[in-house]
Every structure is written in structure tokens, then in C-alpha cells.
Amino acid sequence: MTNKEFAHARKILGRTQKQMAELLGTSQKTISSYEQGWRTVPVYVERQIYFFISRMKGINGHLKPCWDVKKCSEEVKYRCPAWEFNVGKLCWFINGTFCEKCLPNSPREKIEMCMDCEAFEPIARIMAAPEEK
């Protein structure tokens, strides 16, 4: 997540820098550092932001369970933590999911793969910068 994407997400969530710091359990200086590009936004913070956006009113209804979107086989579905814990609308938030396209080597690779997935598309659409819409 770039500094501009972070600032955009904060605005989508309707938070000041101070409120965002409280929401993420960090300091206002850290939030400012993300937005100025002095610090890289860690993957765990990026995932939290996507989680908050996914929980906004009206968005959750547009999300579909990943196993339906990806048409997972029963074998894959039953081994997957997203199925086990009934969080198919949050598959991108869960480590160790078994989507055959999403077997990354790192948390950064996973979130980048998930951002291109149809299951994440409603969140990606919201996150699209106004000039990209």
C-alpha cells in the first residue's frame, strides 16, 4: 500500500490521523509517517484497513464467499481455513488459505495476489482512487 493509498483509505473510513492512530493502535506520528511516505505501510496494517473497509455498511453484502467465487473443489474447500472458520468473505485476511492461485511465499505476496482476485474486487473498487473510477 502506497502512502497515497493509505491516505485515501483513511478518508474512505472518515478518520482523522489521530482517529486512525487510535483505530490501528499506533501513534499519530506513525500515521503521518505512512502518509508522508517516510515509513512503509506494513502488510498487517494494510490488511486491517481492508478489513475495516470490508465491514463498512453496504459493502459486506457485495462480498461473496471465496469458495463460490473460485468454484473450489470439495477437497480444497474442506482443507481451507476460510471454509473451516466460515470466513469466505474475508479469505484475503486469513493466512494459510488454500486457493490454488494463492499459495504465496510471504504475506506481501498473498495480499498482492488477493488484490487481483474476484473475491476481493468489491474492496478494490472502493479503494480505487477517484481518478481511476
95 and 108 in a single domain? The answer is: yes
Please tell me the total count of domains within the chain: 2
If asked whether residues 15 and 69 sit together in one domain, one would say no
Domain with residue 27: its CATH number is: 1.10.260.40
State pLDDT tens for residues 94-122: 877 766 655 656 777 777 888 888 888 88
Residues 24 and 80 both lie in one domain: no
Q: Mark residue 2 as left, alpha or beta (left: phi above 0; alpha: psi -120 to 50; beta: remaining).
A: beta
What's the CA gap between 90 and 67, in Å, rounded? 11
Regarding whether 74 and 91 lie in a shared domain, the answer is yes
pLDDT digits (tens, 9 = 90+) for 63-72: 888 888 888 8
Structural domain of 75: 43-133
**Quick one: 72 and 131 in the same domain?**
yes
Whether the per-residue pLDDT at 133 is higher than 50: the answer is no
Residues 6 or more apart from 99 whose CB is under 8 A from it?
66, 70, 72, 76, 80, 91, 117
* Residues 53 and 63 occupy one common structural domain: yes
Q: Are residues 48 and 101 in the same domain?
A: yes
Same domain flag for 59 and 120: yes
One domain for residues 52 and 85:
yes
Are both 74 and 122 inside the same structural domain? yes
What does the pLDDT read at residue 132? 46
Q: Are residues 53 and 68 in the same domain?
A: yes
CA distance 114 to 50: 11
Q: What is the pTM of this model?
A: 0.81
More confident residue, 64 or 30: 30
Residues 87 and 103 in one domain: yes
